[in-house]
Structure 1
């Protein structure tokens, strides 16, 4: 059976900057409705763009997607399937990454794992985690100080991105502060290309092995108000406790859609079920997120980390971070990509269909430096 995406076509008129026509086909088979799925691919020439169709093979049960661990003998599915359209299956990831994901305990986690609701009972369990390179040290130290203003005794882990001894010597002398130099030797060499942001999902997975309640905060983010953890726990308990909500939570939005910063090559790995949803959904920031170690979190992180380890998934050809937004920040492609952030948003949006399912209302408690 062909994917609905194979029937999707759209194009840009020769003298128009952006004229996109979307055709959606719904098919009814044997009394049930097949989810609509279509994806786009993108080509650029002289500032114009067009979209052509991607084809995906229906391999819901497809042995070619299997990867077997040489260490444990376990078999894993390395082809992502759109959770809203099981006939839409992405490009297979390389089986060479099985060992890494098992080492990170993203695939072979010990059960049972707690739910997000069970992890919001003890504020002291929160561990703050961040990263810094030499050129980000000034921002990183201010971010750390903003947290210490309200949480002087919580564990804080800083991962160094090849930080030099001179900067390491400047780090806080704090019994609850821990510095870890990120060991890139056990990952592909392109993980060390910091502006591709592959390090973030990998470090998140590393630290989540040890601590079930991680609060990730980028070097450029500061905490501005007290009682953040308490208010967040109350928010989860009151409004976000059902399985309809993501266990992973962002605290800031970006002011633009997912579509605006999406290189469609990413959809070869993670096919989307709705182009209009990508345009209307606001992308959330990946620089400030709560990561509880739950089964739901690890199901997302399997693909998040695999994408970081793949050479092109998190860095599609031509991807660059500088955007040129059109008349609005939703309907027009800005010729840029948000790397780890774009990947995480596609995974969360595919799963939950609504950014409010993974965005906290407490964003005003933080600021960007």
Structure 2
């Protein structure tokens, strides 16, 4: 066995301290005590209304006061109806998804894949089954070959779903816009609790048990992304998105957390997905003119631009950050990150430090592996799976 150097000991100590902070430094103990957004805006700003709904994201200015973004096209109102994301849907929600999670709950995992990532998908499925035998897995087809579809349909308790591009604006066909992640709204119609992440991600430890427990305890929001990048949101954000989701630079200097998601149905979750969906449907919001995925690596990764764009990841972070600094709800206090509200640069930096102290540990429990099985695999359910579980496989969604 290799000996650990001093650097390894230091890293280990830091992770331990972060974990210790996670265990003891929470203000709230239950999900019911965590204040999350459940009430619609009392008034809709002029020019922002659409069928009685607010279509302007309520962002923040440099003083952390309300600043509304450019209105999203009213033609996308039909998607709020389709995905049950209207204000009446949100305010009328009677129960949270976590109410359905108990010691016998089997988690649901989902991903959306194209042929160039199919080998990773095989390993993705095998990894999940290693940790959670018989768990339901949903695979969205973004562009698979017939033989790949046949292989998925042969896997036990893996549900194949075809993503229908015809239901969405033309820019959805450009997978590098990542607008296809609206599948999360589709999945929420059938699953109240699920993990969603890329096929290159691998689990570590019993995260499928730990994360729902932390949500119930008010330690994690019911829509949460994990695995922090080394750069800020600001560094990889094209300015066009800010026209729709306005936030000040000091807030955007926050470390960016990547698209490893756990989604649990709640008023907060639906409002979160509402804004993501409207932005994803609006090409200028999710994929502004001139946006590219390849970055220029130089300078300060927190305060300097890297001349690239992180599409869906930017949105997950920006909507989350707006909640933390919401001038009325004050999400940072609701989560117990701070005890007293304030303003100014030092206040913002303190909130962001506490955010990282809370969540960096969680991201360290996911692994990213850019490799997969090059040969077909067999995926069988464990012997204890009952006949009703196996029967689910027969209902393939084409």
Say which structure, 1 or 2, has more relative contact order (CA 8 Å, 6+ apart).
Answer: 2
Shift in CA distance, 67/239, structure 1 to aligned 2, threshold 3 Å = closer
TM-score, normalising length: structure 2: 0.69
Q: Aligned runs of 1:9-158 on 2, under 5 Å? A: 61-68=44-51, 75-82=52-59, 85=64, 87-107=66-86, 108-109=88-89, 111-115=92-96, 118=99, 120-122=101-103, 124-158=105-139
Which residue of structure 2 aligns with residue 313 of structure 1? 285
Q: In structure 2, what is the equivalent of residue 4 of structure 1?
A: none
DSSP-derived class of the 2:72 partner: coil
| 1:1-369 superposed matches below 5 A | 61-68=44-51, 75-82=52-59, 85=64, 87-107=66-86, 108-109=88-89, 111-115=92-96, 118=99, 120-122=101-103, 124-171=105-152, 173-200=154-181, 202-225=182-205, 227-238=206-217, 240=219, 246-272=221-247, 274-279=248-253, 281-286=254-259, 288-353=260-325, 354=352, 355-356=355-356, 359=359, 361-369=361-369
Cα distance in 1 between the residues matched to 2:213 and 2:234:
32
d(CA) in 1 for partners of 2:203, 2:66: 43
SS at match of 1:253: strand
Higher helix share: 2
CA, structure 1 residues 61+358, in 2 after alignment: closer, same or farther (shift >3 Å)? farther
Q: CA deviation at 1:282?
A: 0.6
When residues 357 and 76 of structure 1 are mapped into structure 2, their CA distance, relative to the original with a 3 A threshold, is farther
1:106–1:205: 8 Å Cα contact kept in structure 2? no
2:138–2:159: 8 Å Cα contact kept in structure 1?
yes
- Count residues with an aligned counterpart: 296
Change (3 A) 1:319 1:303: same
Q: How far apart in 2 are the matches of 1:344 and 1:158?
A: 21
Closer/same/farther in 2, CA of residues 357 and 237 from structure 1, 3 Å limit? farther
8 Å contact kept, 2:232–2:255: yes
Structure 1 gaps, min length 5: 1-59, 69-74
Cα separation, partners in 2 of 1:166 and 1:283, compared to 1, 3 Å: same
How far apart, CA to CA, are the structure 1 residues paired with 2:139 and 2:186?
A: 13
**1:138 positional shift:** 0.5
- SS across alignment from 2:194: strand
Contact 2:71 2:244 in 1 (8 A): yes
Give the Å deviation of 1:159: 0.2
Cα RMSD of the aligned pairs, angstroms, is 2.3
Residue 160 of structure 1: SS of its match in structure 2?
Answer: strand
Is the 2:232–2:256 Cα contact (8 Å) retained in structure 1? Answer: yes
Match of 2:109, SS state, is strand
Q: CA contact under 8 A between 1:254 and 1:283: conserved in structure 2?
A: yes
Aligned-partner Cα distance in 2 for 1:253–1:127:
23
Secondary structure of 1:143's match? helix
Counterpart-to-counterpart distance in 1, 2:210 and 2:201: 18
Secondary structure in structure 1 of the residue aligned to 2:59? coil
Decide whether aligned partners of structure 1 residues 294 and 360 sit closer, same or farther in structure 2, where only a CA change above 3 A counts: farther
Task: State the 4+ residue runs in structure 1 displaced beyond 6 angstroms.
Answer: none
